[in-house]
Chains A and B, each alone.
Chain A
Amino acid sequence: MIRVQTDDFDAGTELEQLRRSNNGQAGAIVSFTGLVRELNAGEQVTQMTLEHYPGMTEKALEKIEQAANDQWELTASLIIHRVGPLAPDDNIVFVVAASQHREQAFRACEYMIDTLKTRAPFWKKETLPGSTRWVTPETTV
């Protein structure tokens, strides 16, 4: 399942729902949570705004999730990505892979977040004290 939303998510609630929906099939659940850093490239970030391309974003995330499910034997998967204004320490993204064994779940989770970072049409703009800047792939590494 994929979701693009302005609202926050609760990682614990999401994991518990996914765990229940597995009906005992999964032996491993691996999750990744991405957060807004308070310091990025040495600068204080006071706010971050996430822009996206509605429509294409959902297609891109579905494609990434499908590719993970094609490559590994997953019993469940989930990608949630937030858009709009966010504050330091806020949740940005949540990626979960469940499988019978941990290796498949680890690999699939890593694949989904790594691929999302280069393929899904999201753009971060940081507000610093007195200025704003668009994040570039070089400044996020």
Chain B
Amino acid sequence: MVRLRYFASLRETLGIGDEQLELPDGVHDLPALTRWLQDRDATWASALADNRLHVAINQEIVKADASIADGDEVAWFPPVTGG
């Protein structure tokens, strides 16, 4: 299982903040997982195509080509605006 998290405006656009799923067959890295999620529908396709999004794996910011393993927590979010 992997845990997927979506925050802020992205969470609102997708209508979901948190989900768990079995890592789909053949998905071992972030680009493949993002593509798999984009195949859900047009909303997912366009929301996750935003190249300003950041991705964290296990709560650490990662690069776009990061690998993903069973048990990981993967989070997508827009640029941060705290402070």
Contacts and interface: CB of A to CB of B under 8 A. Distances in A.
A113 B83 contact: yes
Nearest to A61: B82
Contacts, number: 69
A118 B80 contact: yes
B7 A117 contact: no
Contacts of A118: 80
B28 to A, nearest CB: 23
A52 interface: yes
B83 A34 contact: yes
B8 interface: yes
Interface residues of B, number: 16
Contacts of A92: 82-83
A112 B83 CA distance: 10
Given A51-B8, A53-B5, A123 B82 contact: yes
A123 B8 contact: yes
Interface of B: 5, 7-9, 56, 59-61, 75, 77-83
